[in-house]
Amino acid sequence: MPTTLLLEPTNDSDLHLLLSLAQRLGVKATATPAAEISAEEREQRFLALFGSWQSNKTGDEINRQLQESRQSNRPDIEL
C-alpha cells in the first residue's frame, strides 16, 4: 500500500524545490493547490497517517511492557 506524505509549502519557491527533490529521489510527487482541498479532506489525509490497534491492556500496562522490552547494546558503565 502506498504511503502518502502531505507537504504544505508556504510559497511557490518551496513547492518547486520539494518537487525537484522528489524527482531527483525518484519519488512520485503530485502537487494540489491547498485551495482545492477542503479542510475536512486535509484532516482526513492527516488522520490517515496514523495507525491504531485493539488491546485489552491499559495505557499504563502497554507503557510498562514497552519499557521492559527495551534493550541496550551498550555495556554497563560504573562511575
DSSP 3-state of 31: coil
Q: How far apart are CA 65 and CA 48, in angstroms?
A: 26
Q: How far apart are CA 73 and CA 43, in angstroms?
A: 40
Secondary structure tally for the chain: helices H, strands E: 3, 0
Has residue 2 got a pLDDT over 80?
A: no
Residue 33 DSSP one-character state: -
Q: What is the pTM of this model?
A: 0.36
5-55, pLDDT tens digit by residue? 777 788 888 888 888 888 898 888 877 766 677 888 888 888 888 877 778
Cell for 25? Answer: 529521489
Question: Between residues 56 and 4, which one has the greater pLDDT?
Answer: 56
